[in-house]
Amino acid sequence: MKLKMAVGLVATGALLSAQLAFAQGGQTETGTPAKTPAAKRAELRKMCDDTLAALYKAKPELKAKVEKAAGYACFSSFGISFLVGGAGGHGLAYVNATQKETYMKMGQASGGIDFGIKKYREVLVFNDVKSLAMFVYKGWEMSGGGSATAAAGGKGGTADSTEVSTGAIEVYPMTDTGLAVGVAAAARKYWNDDALNAGK
């Protein structure tokens, strides 16, 4: 009886230790190491670099445009190991002048989670500092029809957002095969990822 009790206590202790490690980000449920915030940030940086490379391959002239812009943002709804289910995507916004990165989330603006395009990526190019600041600090909502509205306490600027725009923001949607000209994702919103931005 004492032996069985001892074995049971050891097993219980091991289970509690495993649960604690998982809760602290030490391991996933499958026993593999959980990604740290630093690892997630590095993965998003790589995703953004890869997405920009795909954009430049499709439209080489955009490289100079992105470099001269106030900044840009990259998002993906696939290919990121810490994405769970189909509840949107992750990305980052980058300010060219300061080289500051802000990590963000992308989700459905309304209704169910369905972006309409599988393996969806996009690059947003900001042609002025104000629009970029609004995006980073206030968030943004974009309708499936192509208009975008800054979420600044119910007010804010608007900008046409299509594949190629002359407005404050240009949006370049892509699939895994390249630039998706003439294709728009469903209505979506963007907001800060507080967990990834903390403690950078």
Residues of the chain with pLDDT > 90, as a percent, come to 37
Q: What is the pLDDT of residue 184?
A: 54
CB 69 within 8 A of CB 125: yes
Between these two residues, 154 and 149, which has the higher pLDDT value? 149
Q: What is the token pair recorded at 154?
A: 């119910």
Q: What is the pLDDT of residue 78?
A: 83
Q: Which H or E element spans position 130?
A: helix 129-138
Q: What is the token pair recorded at 34?
A: 């959980």
Q: Is the pTM of this model over 0.75?
A: no
Q: What is the pLDDT of residue 67?
A: 96
Burial of 125: CB neighbours in 10 Å, binned 0-12, 13-18, 19+: buried
Per-residue pLDDT tens over the stretch 98-127: 999 999 998 876 654 455 556 788 899 999
**What 3-state class would DSSP assign to 103?**
strand
Q: What is the token pair recorded at 66?
A: 């992105």
